[in-house]
Every structure is written in structure tokens, then in C-alpha cells.
């Protein structure tokens, strides 16, 4: 195993703390994005101004100008006709804060990145990863506006495909940052062989589960059935895969989308519990053991939040918690995976 010199080890710890700070803020960003979606606030800002957009409305005239622009688009004309200025201010501020936080994340990453680079604290192996994170962050900003544009049309709803892509890219960036940070602070230690690959597969499946949730959110499929464990009067509801071609139902039929998300959740719970039982019988390190117990706790919380979101008709607080609960569960699986792969 290659030994780091003391200076580089200190630098790596410093960079890891910075990356984990970025990850925490991205976690908050995902939460705020969920609240913005659940309050139908995402289409309240009809312009994309990367630089000047950080300046909030400062006068009544500014607010009036923004409200008039909003009134020219289908969401106001077809859904929110008659909305008051006070109501508009609420949805506008959710979207405004979401965009401002995105810009702040960019600064939180870019400024330290430049400092670490010119102070020669970044190792040659780490530099390409950090540069890729920066590029992905820029792509995420573009993806966000690309998503919003899909709703500024005759049908005032954002595309579920673009929403899922926007959420998915946020998760990719978050996962990439946390995995890299784990690599800078986790020291290799003795671990039983044969667990690393299954753990990584489980992490990938949790990511796919989050994308499945993105489709539920984008189509509002969570409102289709508000009963559990049955969907209406049966476990398997009528109308599954009823579109032509049938596979399109998995992306556009709300009954099929909710059913698939439920089945995916049952399968994931079974896989995560089975892996935990198997791994806990092995001679794993204390860090991995703690990670598995944390994962199981988060799994229970996430299942509870998912069921509550359904039966209480998608309340904003519960549904938003369900979204970030999935990210927390992914974090646990990534930590376990990294620890098991990073064997001495």
C-alpha cells in the first residue's frame, strides 16, 4: 500500500472536509428542490439569468414586473388564474431560493477548488475528479433550466423525463462527491472478501430506486392511489401496462409508475435486509457494522415515510422528507460499499 507523505495526508483531510461540506449543502438543495416541486413553485420564475438572477425583487415595481411576466405563461392562465400577488410571492421565493442555493453551491465548490489548486494541495490523482465535479455542476444548472422550459408551454407541467434527469444528475454529483471524500478519509483495513461487489450493486439499485421516485414525482403518480398495502381494492390494480406499446406505461401511466415504485421498494427492502444479515455474520470492521445498522434504521424510516406519503395524500413535509430519506439511505450504502471495496 502506498504511504502518503504527512503533508499530503493533511491536505487530503482538508479537501475531504470541504467536499463533505459541499455534499451537505447539496443534500439541503435536494430537499429544497423537493419542496419547490411539491408546492408547484418551479414555474414561477419564467426567465433564466445565471448572473443577474441572484438579485431578488427589491421593490413593489419589481414584484409587479415579475408577476406580469408570470401571467403571460400557461401555468397562470390555466391553473392559477386569479392568483394574488401575495400567493405569487410565496411560490416565487421557493424557486428563487432554490436557484440561489444552486449558485452558492457553485461558489462553495469553485472558490476552494481554485485555492487548493494554486496552493498545490490537490494531488495529481484527485485533480481530474474535482474538475469533473465542476463540469457536472455546470451541467446541472443547464439541466435545471431545460426542465423548467418544458413546463413553460401549452401544457404547464414539467416533463417527468427532464425532472428525473435533473434529480438523477443531482444524485450522481452528490454520490461522486461523497465517494471521493470517503476515499480521502477512509483508511484501508482488513475486510472479508466477497462483500464489496454486492454492496456496490445495492448502491446502484438504490440510485435506480431514486430515479423511480423521480418518475412518481414528475407524473404526480403518488396521488393515483392513497391506500396501502393495497392499491384501491387489490394488490395488483387494473390498468397496468395498458398503453401501447406496453413498455411506455412504465414512464407515462400513473398506475403503472406507482405500482412499479412500490414493487421496487419491496425488493430493495428484501435485498438490503438480506445483505445486512449475511454481512453482520462476517468479521467486518466496526465502521462497516455501524454503517449497516445505520442503513437498516434509515430503511425503516424511509419505508415509513413512503407509506405515510401515500396514505396522507402527499403532504409537503412528509413527501420532501421521503425524497431526502432516499438520499440518506444511498449515503449509507455508499459508505458501506466504499469501506468494503477499500480493503487492505
Same-domain pairing of 215 and 284: yes
Last residue of a domain, one of 185, 210, 228: 185
Same-domain pairing of 111 and 221: no
User: What pLDDT digit, counting tens, does each position of 165-210 carry?
Assistant: 999 999 999 999 999 999 998 877 767 778 999 999 999 999 999 9
Read out DSSP for 296-318? HHHHHHHHHHHHHHHHTT--HHH
Same-domain pairing of 175 and 195: no
How much is the pTM?
A: 0.94
Q: Domain count of the chain?
A: 2
User: What pLDDT digit, counting tens, does each position of 114-166 carry?
Assistant: 999 999 999 999 999 999 999 999 999 999 999 999 998 888 889 999 999 99
Q: Residue 191 corresponds to which cell in the numbers above? A: 475486510
Same-domain pairing of 160 and 232: no
Same-domain pairing of 203 and 254: yes
Q: How confident is the model at residue 38 (pLDDT cuts 50, 70, 90)?
A: very high
Other C-beta atoms closer than 10 Å to the C-beta of 144 total 21
Last residue of a domain, one of 161, 185, 209: 185
Same-domain pairing of 218 and 174: no
Same-domain pairing of 167 and 278: no
Residue entry with cell 490523482: 125
Q: Residue 343: helix, strand or coil by DSSP? A: strand
Q: Residue 156 is part of which domain span?
A: 1-185
Same-domain pairing of 100 and 212: no
- Residue scoring higher pLDDT (7 or 242): 242
Query: In the predicted model, what is the mean pLDDT of the chain?
Result: 93
Same-domain pairing of 165 and 127: yes
Read out DSSP for 86-141? HHHHHHHHHHHHHHHHHHHHHHHHHHHHHHHHHTT-S-TTTHHHHHHHHHHHHHHH
Same-domain pairing of 177 and 193: no
Same-domain pairing of 6 and 145: yes
Measured between alpha carbons, how far is 194 from 186 in angstroms, rounded to an integer? 19
Q: How confident is the model at residue 1 (pLDDT cuts 50, 70, 90)?
A: very low
Last residue of a domain, one of 185, 205, 220: 185
Same-domain pairing of 177 and 270: no
Amino acid at each position: 500500500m502506498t504511504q502518503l507523505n504527512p503533508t499530503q495526508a493533511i491536505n487530503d483531510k482538508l479537501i475531504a472536509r470541504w467536499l463533505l461540506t459541499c455534499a451537505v449543502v447539496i443534500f439541503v438543495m435536494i430537499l429544497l428542490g423537493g419542496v419547490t416541486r411539491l408546492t408547484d413553485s418551479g414555474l414561477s420564475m419564467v426567465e433564466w439569468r445565471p448572473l443577474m438572477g441572484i438579485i431578488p425583487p427589491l421593490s413593489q415595481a419589481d414584484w409587479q414586473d415579475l408577476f406580469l411576466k408570470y401571467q403571460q405563461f400557461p401555468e397562470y392562465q390555466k391553473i392559477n388564474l386569479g392568483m394574488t400577488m401575495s400567493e405569487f410571492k410565496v411560490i416565487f421565493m421557493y424557486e428563487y431560493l432554490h436557484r440561489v442555493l444552486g449558485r452558492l453551491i457553485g461558489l462553495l465548490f469553485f472558490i476552494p477548488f481554485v485555492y487548493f489548486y494554486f496552493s498545490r494541495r490537490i494531488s495529481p490523482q484527485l485533480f481530474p475528479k474535482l474538475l469533473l465535479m465542476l463540469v457536472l455542476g455546470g451541467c446541472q444548472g443547464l439541466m435545471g433550466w431545460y426542465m423548467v422550459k418544458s413546463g413553460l408551454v401549452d401544457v404547464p407541467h414539467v416533463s417527468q423525463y427532464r425532472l428525473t434527469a435533473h434529480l438523477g444528475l443531482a444524485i450522481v454529483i452528490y454520490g461522486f462527491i461523497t465517494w471521493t471524500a470517503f476515499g480521502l478519509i477512509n483508511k484501508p483495513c482488513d475486510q472479508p472478501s466477497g462483500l464489496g461487489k454486492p454492496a456496490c450493486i445495492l448502491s446502484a439499485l438504490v440510485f435506480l430506486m431514486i430515479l423511480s421516485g423521480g418518475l412518481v414525482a414528475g407524473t404526480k403518480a403518488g396521488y393515483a392511489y392513497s391506500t396501502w398495502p393495497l392499491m384501491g381494492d387489490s394488490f395488483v390494480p387494473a390498468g397496468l401496462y395498458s398503453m401501447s406499446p406496453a413498455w411506455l406505461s412504465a414512464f407515462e401511466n400513473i398506475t403503472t409508475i406507482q405500482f412499479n415504485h412500490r414493487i421496487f421498494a419491496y425488493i430493495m427492502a428484501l435485498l438490503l435486509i438480506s445483505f445486512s444479515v449475511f454481512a453482520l455474520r462476517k468479521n467486518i470492521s466496526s465502521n462497516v457494522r455501524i454503517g449497516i445498522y445505520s442503513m437498516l434504521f434509515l430503511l425503516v424510516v424511509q419505508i415509513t415515510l413512503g407509506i405515510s406519503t401515500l396514505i396522507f395524500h402527499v403532504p409537503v413535509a412528509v413527501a420532501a422528507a421521503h425524497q431526502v430519506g432516499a438520499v440518506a439511505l444511498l449515503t449509507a450504502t455508499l459508505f458501506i460499499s466504499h469501506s468494503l471495496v477499500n480493503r487492505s
